Structure 1
Amino acid sequence: MSESKPDANEPSLDFERLDVYRLACEFQSLAFRAAARAGTVCRNELERASLSIVLNIAEGAGRRSAPEKARYYVIARGSATESAALLDVLARDGRISVSDVRAGRAQIIRIVHMLSRLVARWTGAGVA
């Protein structure tokens, strides 16, 4: 998936302007490719978890109240950490390449940090 920033002159939705959304889409593409080499259970879980990151970021961005935004970003962050664990499982099982694990983990770490900052912003807390 080759996502790019929306053209400044084109109308866009709130989530389309978030860097974390674009990064989550990139990770979701990597995860779907990696999942194709997994067994049924891990494939389903990795596809679901990686898609959940993307969808919860979009839904959170579309909410208007701060607590609702934070709630969806927390859910997305949980799905990101779940995805990291699934990459570990697939790596131990030899079903995913070391380069895919490294790339995926690097993306997930960035996603988790970005989501933590968004949660902190919408809860008024320090980095959550």
Structure 2
Amino acid sequence: MQFDHEKLEVYQRSLEFVAFVAEISSEIAPEWRNARDQLIRSSQSIPLNIAEGNGKRSFGDRKRYFEIARGSAMESAAALDVLVVLKAISNDRIEPGKRLLVRVVAMLSKMTETRVNAARESVTDYDYDYDYEHEHEQEHEHEHEQEHEWSAT
């Protein structure tokens, strides 16, 4: 059995990046452990948020998690830059990771622009009755309430 998020190329590339970070982490001297640990955390956040976002039913929820994953990818890129500036690792050594991140960020950016790029499990996989016809009414209900509050003031 495979979950739908496991079928996403962006998820697979983000796992490759996690493996890359695990590999280079052992090369970073102990005095730079805070920067190294931040890189480890941000790298692991990418696939976790992709998986969680892909499991959401509404586009707005999926988009939010994909944006968080994108932010974690950008944070990971910055953490790599910090480690280079600290001379904890060489620029040449981080290049494969940066190339992966460029791809991940591009895919996540595209996924937040359109509704069709998220892989979805069918509702019947979980024997759950979901009202797709009215899915977006709840999503925008709060927006209309807020608009009404603003116009009343």
TM-score where L is the length of structure 1: 0.82
Match of 2:110 among 100, 110, 117: 117
- Tell me which residue corresponds to 1:27: 17
Are positions 1:56 and 2:49 aligned together? yes
Q: What does residue range 1-128 of structure 1 map to in structure 2 within 5 Å?
A: 11-36=1-26, 37-38=28-29, 39-122=32-115
Report the residue type matching 1:110 in the other structure: R
- The CA RMSD measured in Å over matched residues stands at 1.5
Superposition deviation, residue 92 in structure 1: 1.6
Farther-moved stretch of structure 1 (87-96 vs 15-24): 87-96
- Structure number with the bigger relative contact order (C-alpha 8 A, sep ≥ 6) is 2
Alignment length (residue pairs):
113
Superposition deviation, residue 97 in structure 1: 3.1
Q: Displaced runs of 4+ in structure 1, greater than 4 A?
A: none
In 1: Cα distance, 2:77 partner to 2:114 partner: 24
* Structure having the higher Rg: 2
Provide structure 1 residue ranges, at least 5 long, that are not aligned to the other structure.
1-10, 124-128
In 2: Cα distance, 1:31 partner to 1:79 partner: 13
In 2: Cα distance, 1:56 partner to 1:32 partner: 19
